[in-house]
A and B are shown apart, each in its own frame.
Chain A
Amino acid sequence: MSAPNSKRGSYFLITPMALIFAIFLVVPLLTIVVVSFWDYDEYRILPDFIFENYSYLLGSSVTWQIYLNTFKYAALTWAFTLGIGFTVAYFLAFYVRSLTWQIILFMVCTIPFWTSNIIRMISWIPFLGRNGLLNQALMGTGIIHEPLEFLLFSDFAVVLADVHLYTLFMVVPIFNSMMRIDRSLIEAARDNGASGWATLRHIIVPLSKPGIAIGSIFVITVVMGDFITVRLMSGGQSASVGLQISNEIGMLQYPAAAASAVVLLITVLLIVTALLRLVDIRKEL
């Protein structure tokens, strides 16, 4: 095959993927950016080129508080999913010796995903509520005398639900990274006198970093954009950026929502860029 021919062939081959990206990513994104500069009133959105949506958004102290709150959820969820996800992945990768058991246990991890997000969240409510199972059990055993109020419709509940929903996003990439670690490296570390902890610290954690980075990107981006968990689990008492956007859409303030979305997108991209600077994930892809 001659060179120009093969070049044309390559362009031909990438066309379907390029089209999919254009239709499902570039066009919607551009639309949002364009709309974010439009004007609106109670009934209509008006094509225009104004910066008011942004200046109002960035000038409002509410926005900053909402961002702070969202960062708090993201950071807490990230910390817990990382802790739990790393431990589960470590157990699966290094303690479960047979491939069959690894597959079975992995399937077990995915069982909660057979139901929808909403159902999984709602199922916490009867458990955590004021007269829920947990409070009744604790009071029944005499550990507490008053029902614990912070369990439901609180930050605690939001973070708990997020951790429950997204830990698997952390487990999968970390497990994947760990499975790529040559087992003889662990033996070599042991041969050099490394204890179990030293092996974990000097060998396993550094070599799992790409998986940790990918898992972190999944969890942080999802939590940063989440609104349904915050709405359901905080009982409307807390806000997140996603929830703010959802409310603006509810009030038909599309340009304001678009501006919020653009700011959120930039924020998340900055976080992802920072993570990618810290860890080289190319080896993993």
Chain B
Amino acid sequence: MTGNGAIELIAVSKYYGSTIAVKSIDLKIPAGAYCCLIGPSGCGKTTTLRMIAGHEAISEGDLLIGQRNVTELPPVKRGTSMMFQNYALFPHMSCAENVAFGLRMQGVSPVERAERATEMLARVHMDMFADRKPDQLSGGQQQRIALARALITQPEVLLLDEPLSALDPFLRARMRDELRRLQQDLGITFVHVTHAQDEALALSDMVVVMEDGVIRQKGTPEEIFNRPKSRFIANFMGGQNIFKGKVARADATTTIVERGPDQFVLPVHGDAKTGEDLEFTIRTDLIGLADDIPAGAAQSQIPVEITTVEYLGLWVRIVATTVDGKDITLMKTESEFRRAPVRRKEKFIAYWEPEHAHVLA
């Protein structure tokens, strides 16, 4: 069963009249992968998902699922199944009937239908709710039914349109675990559209960041988070401070970047030329605060004044302002913070190791 769920989009575009929703994207999702499409609203992620599902015609390009060109095929012939954002459960049918609907359409006998529906309901821990109507269920329960309905036809690819966005934070985390576990058990490809960074990072084997109808970056969660390709991705995925400056000096071991009165030390960067603009990022948790640093140390050092201290439980978020008025965000674990507490209006030197700097393309 596995192996047929590989998805390949080849120069796929979607036009609505003269507006372009998706611009000639290429994407390969290996079989059995958990892939998250992420981006701000209107970036084309949902349109892309709906084109894979067959609910949106592909204006140009080809879609291959399991090496089969399915561009023109209806959903049921693609081996895909979709879970809708609002779950789209049939309100006039019981949960068991909802789940069995796909089998009913295939002409499976009522007895077998009921058996397989019960089995699937048990799989999502909803067997005791078989006779309930969807409006008698909570959001999380409705979602399980939607999941069971999508899986009953044994698809090679499950498409999920913002499946967790309607749930409260506690339930969201639980369903996230369950989705991941289910995907690993079934071994089928999951394509999941979301606008939540934590969801994408937690679930994916592969994250695809979209903006304005194109793919900006794809890779493992670690790659996307630690080595964003652009300012947009760094901003969108969060957890990074972005600095922009001019290359003052570049030699065999280091690149020095200047911004106003501040100087930053970066690891050597191949194409850096003196006088060029350069953007780089530092993760918010990799910046330290010190009263004083011995002169000549290798770190980047900037004098800052603390402007905000936000207690977040496990973390403390600190915003510090540089001499020329730019903000830097720092995240400290609570225990780190308690060892070295800081207060508003206090002055420090912010520093980081050069190798933690990531230069944006």
Contacts and interface: CB of A to CB of B under 8 A. Distances in A.
Interface in B43-80: 53-55, 74-76
Interface stretch (B33-41, B84-92, B320-328): B84-92
A207 B91 contact: yes
B75 A185 contact: no
B333 interface: no
Given A193-B76, A203-B90, A187 B84 contact: yes
B88 A185 contact: yes
A122 interface: no
A207 B75 contact: no
A196 to B, nearest CB: 11
B86 A184 contact: yes
A191 B151 CA distance: 11
Nearest to B80: A191
B120 to A, nearest CB: 13
A194 B90 contact: no
Given A191-B75, A192-B76, A192-B105, A185 B55 contact: no
Contact of A187 (B76, B88, B102, B150): B88
Given A184-B84, A202-B101, A191 B90 contact: no
A188 B92 contact: no
A198 interface: yes
Given A184-B84, A198-B105, A193 B90 contact: no
A188 B84 contact: yes
Given A187-B55, A198-B105, A202-B101, A192 B88 contact: no
B153 A192 contact: yes
A190 B86 contact: no
A65 to B, nearest CB: 41
B82 A191 contact: yes
Contact of A207 (B85, B86, B92): B92
Contacts of B88: 182, 184-185, 187-188
Interface residues of B, number: 24
Contacts of B105: 189, 192-195, 198
A83 interface: no
A192 B84 contact: no
A185 to B, nearest CB: 5
A216 B97 CA distance: 28
Contacts of B54: 191
Contacts of A187: 55, 82, 84, 88
A201 to B, nearest CB: 11
B106 interface: yes
A189 B93 CA distance: 12
A182 B92 CA distance: 13
Interface in A204-236: 206-207
Contacts of A202: 90, 101, 104
A193 B153 contact: yes
Contacts of B150: 191
B92 A191 contact: no
B85 to A, nearest CB: 8
B81 interface: yes
A187 B83 CA distance: 10
A193 B78 CA distance: 11
B149 interface: yes
Given A198-B105, A207-B91, A207-B92, A191 B55 contact: yes
A189 B85 CA distance: 15
A207 B91 CA distance: 8
Contacts of A195: 105
20 contacts: A182-B86, A182-B88, A184-B88, A185-B88, A187-B55, A187-B82, A188-B82, A188-B88, A189-B90, A189-B105, A191-B76, A192-B102, A192-B153, A193-B105, A194-B101, A195-B105, A198-B105, A203-B90, A206-B92, A207-B91
Interface of B: 53-55, 74-76, 81-82, 84-86, 88-92, 101-102, 104-106, 149-150, 153
Interface of A: 182, 184-185, 187-195, 198, 202-203, 206-207
Closest 7 CB pairs of A and B: A193-B76, A192-B102, A188-B88, A184-B88, A193-B105, A191-B75, A206-B92
